[in-house]
Amino acid sequence: MCGIVGYAGPRRVIPVVLEGLKRLEYRGYDSAGVVYLQDGKLIKYRCQGKLSNLEAIIDEAIMAPSHIGLGHTRWATHGAPTTENAHPHSDCTGDLVVVHNGIIENYHSLREELRAKGHRFTSETDTEVLAHLIEENLDGDLVAAIRKTLDLVEGSYAIGVLWAGMPDTLVAARNQSPLVLGIDENGQGSFMASDIPALLPFTKQVIFLEDREFALLTAGDCSVYSLLSGEKIEKKVTTIEWNAAMAEKAGFKHFMLKEIFEQPQAITNTISGRINPESGEVDIPEIGITDEDVRYIERIFLVACGTSWHAALVAKYWIEKYAGIPVEVDIASEFRYRRLIVNDRVLTVSISQSGETADTLAGIRLAKKLGSKVVTICNVVGSTMTREAHGTVYTHAGPEIGVASTKAFTAQLAALFLFTLFLGQRKGVISPEKSRELGQALIGIAEVIKEKLPVIQTQIQQLIESFYSCRDFLFIGRGLNFPIALEGALKLKEISYIHAEGYAAGELKHGPIALIDKEMPILALVPQDAVYQKVISNVEEIKARQGRLILIGTEGDQHLKTITDDIIYLPAVHEDMNPILYTIPAQLLAYAIATRRGCDVDQPRNLAKCVTVE
Ligand code: AGP
């Protein structure tokens, strides 16, 4: 997704904006640009490709004595990733510029109307229309022109605007795309950015802009107003606990590897303070659901995308098993367009690392409109989903920079297991003994992962030499591990570009087994759990067809050695914890193969960390 950075204050603006954009690179982009105001003129630099290309053309201007400006990294939605389409975009005069993240859905009709009035466009983007529309509405009052413009547009936006006629002020505004404001400690500087990491080198004091709000940023003030009424809004300043280092690689080669190894801490941070270590009793005050609400719920929708959807699939098994509430799991982009049968006895739970995924956000808005109570499981404080849901269960995984989600996923699983215990205990259907058992299992899993991570990494590294050049890969699992087979396939395909598919092991005979030959690698998750024998049968069927098996199984299971030499053994844990534990080798396999193939692990091609467009 696009990245926006803006600054007004005592510092030289270009170094601030470039540093902020570098912290947003993980969002994925294909062109970049900056603009600053100097001697009454807006000076703009734009380029295709990475920020290094931009720095090369900015050259000595990086020390320009300007103290107000904007920067942007563009992830193309309308128009190819070219210099002409890179932001900032200008109006006809060149005295007003706009940077934008989102999609203006009615830009085509607006552009035709503006063309008829004599406006000339130099790009294919929807953003340039905003610049010309503000110009068309500008009659000396920039704020009025922006409010009128945004009243005319349909779609999602987070924008930054700078006008030479108002040289001390940046204007920020948002609707459905994230934008966070920063105030530096001594109150002398104001910042805007698409995400928190861009602010961390400068400040931890942030204000979250909400939909249909705008802000005026000057060197000494950062004030927020309603787009609809124009009234000033008093906003809470949040202190972010993350520091810039946390968002750095901490010595690991890639953010993804760092985040894989951060998972024990992410799980521990997510559950601590929410579960009684002795009784297993769960308390999640911020969830926004009373005991009476729980007893009134007759159905749960779990709504998510991608990896977060895999977490939802696991949660379905847990919630139905321990809370006895029927669960429907939906991919958000399907959920939002199907005819939903919803009433106030349905609880909708969104699962999202970013809290900004457009389809998931649209899903909870629809569910809310239809009368459902909404809870979100989310990793980003103050993200849109957390401010629109009735309740939030934060995953305290810390900033996840790698595009491929890892620690956020296992933290989501930990949060969803907490949620399961919360539901079952409030309904009175989990006995104190079972609460103790399940609580101990959850509390103990982080330590098991911490101990085993380096061992698994070494085993995987030795194993991949004969697999990294494969063109296809199958992953199979049953029950709680079927979603982990899907997750393992997604991890591999999104960072190594190998075509990988995950299947329910029992599904092989219904088609996929036709794919098995001596070239096809199949990773099977085969812990000694309730469906172990069934998976072993599937594995034997694969062996009989010369499939190249990798088995992830339970330590001490000698039978696996009669099937293949490529085995990763994991400790026996409570079977409900297997999905969390068995994710680890799948993540490390994807990482090892992708790095062996020389892929850009942290910023895979075509992908963005946060999909804020549908
Ligand atoms: C995860 O590895 C993927 N990059 C992607 O599927 C991601 O899980 C999905 O886009 C949902 O994002 P969210 O959790 O921020 O909503």
Q: CATH no. for residue 168? A: 3.60.20.10
Boundary residue ending a domain (445, 467, 483):
445
In this structure, is residue 613 part of a structural domain? Answer: no
Identify whether residues 419 and 487 lie together within a single domain.
no
Q: Give the integer Cα–Cα distance in Å for 192 and 223.
A: 12
Report pTM. 0.76
Q: How far is the CA of 158 from the centre of ligand 1 (A)?
A: 20
Identify whether residues 435 and 511 lie together within a single domain.
no
Q: How far is the CA of 65 from the centre of ligand 1 (A)?
A: 40
435 lines ligand 1 (CB under 6 A): no
66 lines ligand 1 (CB under 6 A): no
- In this prediction, residue 253 carries a pLDDT of 87
395 lines ligand 1 (CB under 6 A): no
- In Å, what is the CA distance from 239 to each residue of 207, 208, 252, 337? 9, 11, 27, 38
Report which residue type is found at 211.
Answer: D
193 lines ligand 1 (CB under 6 A): no
Identify whether residues 136 and 190 lie together within a single domain.
yes
Q: How far is the CA of 5 from the centre of ligand 1 (A)?
A: 23
The pLDDT confidence band at residue 61, using thresholds 50, 70 and 90, is: confident
Please identify, by atom number, the ligand 1 atom nearest to the C-alpha of residue 412: 14
In this structure, is residue 612 part of a structural domain? Answer: no
Identify whether residues 503 and 379 lie together within a single domain.
no
Residue 107's H or E segment, with its range, is helix 107-116
Give catalytic residues, as residue numbers.
Answer: 2, 609
Q: How far is the CA of 351 from the centre of ligand 1 (A)?
A: 10
In this structure, is residue 607 part of a structural domain? Answer: no
Identify whether residues 166 and 92 lie together within a single domain.
yes
**Nearest residue (CA) to ligand 1, atom 7:** 306
- In this prediction, residue 245 carries a pLDDT of 67
Q: Over 70: is that where the pLDDT of 1 sits? A: no
Q: Which domain holds residue 298?
A: 258-445
Query: Residue 132's CB: how many other CB atoms inside 10 A?
Result: 26
Identify whether residues 231 and 309 lie together within a single domain.
no
Please identify, by atom number, the ligand 1 atom nearest to the C-alpha of residue 491: 2
Q: Provide the token pair at 243.
A: 């520091």
Q: Over 90: is that where the pLDDT of 580 sits? A: yes
In this structure, is residue 602 part of a structural domain? Answer: no
Please identify, by atom number, the ligand 1 atom nearest to the C-alpha of residue 307: 8
What is the side-by-side strand order in the sheet with 238-239?
A: 41-48, 31-38, 68-74, 3-8, 190-193, 180-183, 205-208, 238-239
Report which residue type is found at 217.
Answer: L
What are the pLDDT digits (tens) for 517-545?
Answer: 999 999 999 999 999 999 999 999 999 99
In this structure, is residue 614 part of a structural domain? Answer: no
353 lines ligand 1 (CB under 6 A): yes
- In Å, what is the CA distance from 221 to each residue of 106, 170, 187, 188, 462? 33, 11, 7, 8, 57
Identify whether residues 276 and 373 lie together within a single domain.
yes
Boundary residue ending a domain (396, 427, 445):
445
Identify whether residues 362 and 391 lie together within a single domain.
yes
In this structure, is residue 610 part of a structural domain? Answer: no
**Nearest residue (CA) to ligand 1, atom 10:** 306
Give per-residue burial for 413-436: e unless 16+ CB within 10 Å, then b. bbbbbbbbbbbbbbbeebeeeebb
What are the pLDDT digits (tens) for 113-161?
Answer: 999 999 999 998 999 999 999 999 999 999 999 999 999 998 889 999 9
Identify whether residues 439 and 478 lie together within a single domain.
no
In this structure, is residue 342 part of a structural domain? Answer: yes
Number of domains in the chain: 3
**Sequence-separated (6 or more) residues with CB below 8 Å from residue 531:** 478, 479
Mean pLDDT along residues 241-256: 77
Identify whether residues 222 and 308 lie together within a single domain.
no
What are the pLDDT digits (tens) for 328-366?
Answer: 999 999 999 999 999 999 999 999 999 999 999 999 999
Q: Which of 584, 271, 583 is nearest to 416 (CA)?
A: 271
Residue 328's H or E segment, with its range, is strand 327-331
In this structure, is residue 606 part of a structural domain? Answer: no
Q: Over 80: is that where the pLDDT of 196 sits? A: yes
What are the pLDDT digits (tens) for 207-227?
Answer: 999 999 999 999 989 999 999
What are the pLDDT digits (tens) for 364-406?
Answer: 999 999 999 999 999 987 789 998 999 999 998 887 889 999 9
**Nearest residue (CA) to ligand 1, atom 16:** 352
Identify whether residues 381 and 411 lie together within a single domain.
yes
If one residue of 313, 351, 357 were mutated to test the ligand 1 pocket, choosing by the most ligand atoms within 8 A of its CB, it would be: 357
Q: CATH no. for residue 349? A: 3.40.50.10490
Q: How far is the CA of 310 from the centre of ligand 1 (A)?
A: 10
Identify whether residues 457 and 439 lie together within a single domain.
no
